[in-house]
Structure 1
Amino acid sequence: MELNKASDYDLVEELRRGDLEAFDQIFKKYGDRLFGFALTYLKSREEAEELVQDVFLKIWSNRKNLKKVSSLKSYLFTIAYHNMCRLFREKQIHEKYSKEIAFLGKQAANLEEQLEYKSTLEQVDRLIEKLPEKQKIIFIKSRREGKTSKEIADEMNLSPGTVDNQISAAIRFLREHISDTSFALLLYFEIFML
């Protein structure tokens, strides 16, 4: 079968068998369209490129479990749409807390508040040190060095899904072990601000 003339249905069938050429054909067919779609909403070439990479990485990682989709195009664009929604939610949360942190920073004029802030950061640092070694390295690379899951996965020879799971587990651990609810906003600052 000539894959460059194959139907989406046939391409998915070949992809399920691990055929790289089928994957390449799907990318050639839909990569630019997905990029244009993402760029329209994200307004950032870098974010649009990363989103397209994430979509195709997900397709490749889950190739054996792909169902016989009636429309590959709809399937790909649905994944892209959900990824964009997640990205917009993360940006909104990030922006909201950035503003609150900036406001708190202006308010934190007296020495006692500054000492409490420093103490909180030290507490978070101590908790990070208690994470399992691999989880700690992944968390620091993500939250302090600002690396993407894909970059970390490539560096550590892991799947991006494993990286995301390790980051989620680290955040859960920190939230569970922070000693005082008044520290919640500062904890968020430490975890999510890059």
Structure 2
Amino acid sequence: MKKQFLSQKKLIRSLRKGNTHAYTYLVELYYEKLCDYATNLARDDFKSEDIVQNVIVRMWQQREKLKADISIKNYLYKSVYNEFVDQYRKEIAITALEKKYIEGLDFVTMVKDEDETKRIMHFINKEIEQLPNKCRETFLLSKKEGLTYIEIAEFQNVSVNTVEKQMVKAFSILRKRMKEKMISLMFLLFRMKKINP
């Protein structure tokens, strides 16, 4: 089996046709090497395996787009690097969200009046209701229902990238309409709802 895939062009052609033997050969040839490379980038074995698995699965899903003249090795290593960078950026975004949550905790301790809390919650809900339909649905599935971006993508039958764009759009609109402290409080209130449904 291995001999028939020694030629780069034959390997790519077989992958594009959906040949599972070619895919198995590719995984056996590069998986561990890519994991070592990803570990050097991420300094985390579990994260490294996630990165490599994402790259290999995505490559298989998009196999028909593989160009006949590419170096499959370079393609995989570059994809691992790009996946690492994407995950790193998302971690920074999550850290920023956690900061908002902490700011929300500080703010909510100042709002001790129950009527005031209800008034603020009404204001937040009103602003969310004014979001464009798909944007609002995506935002509520994430923040109110606690679904992951992958779960939302499957539910809406769209790509994860589309979900991310809708969330960025929602936050952008809300940030323009609401004060920073309100945004912080919104993160907190939605998080509390997940913990205490």
Q: Same fold (TM over 0.5)?
A: yes
- The code of the aligned residue for 2:82 comes to H
CA–CA distance in 2 between the matches of 1:116 and 1:85?
Answer: 41
> How many pairs are equivalent?
186
Taking structure 1 as reference, are residues 48 and 119 closer, same or farther at Cα in structure 2, changes over 3 Å only? farther
Q: Secondary structure at the match of 2:84?
A: helix
Aligned to 2:5: 6
Identity of aligned residues (%): 17
Aligned to 2:86: 86
TM-score (norm 2): 0.69
Taking structure 1 as reference, are residues 41 and 175 closer, same or farther at Cα in structure 2, changes over 3 Å only? same
Rg larger for: 2
Matched, 1:163 2:160: yes
CA apart distance, 1:162:
1.9
CA apart distance, 1:38:
2.1
Aligned to 1:34: 34
CA apart distance, 1:70:
4.2
CA–CA distance in 2 between the matches of 1:71 and 1:179?
Answer: 46
CA apart distance, 1:23:
1.3
CA–CA distance in 2 between the matches of 1:142 and 1:10?
Answer: 47
CA–CA distance in 2 between the matches of 1:107 and 1:147?
Answer: 27
**Over residues 104-137 of structure 1, what are the superposed CA-to-partner deviations in whole Å (9 max), with x where a residue is unaligned?**
4224433278557534553465357x7349x937
CA apart distance, 1:138:
9.3
**Contact 1:12/1:66 (<8 A) preserved:** yes
- The code of the aligned residue for 1:6 comes to F
Aligned to 2:125: 122
Write out the 4+ residue segments of structure 1 that deviate beyond 6 Å after TM superposition. Answer: none
| Structure 1: stretches of 5+ with no match in the other structure | none
* Alignment equivalent of 2:179, drawn from 174, 178, 182: 182
TM-score (norm 1): 0.69
CA–CA distance in 1 between the matches of 2:55 and 2:143?
Answer: 20
* Alignment equivalent of 1:131, drawn from 108, 118, 133: 133
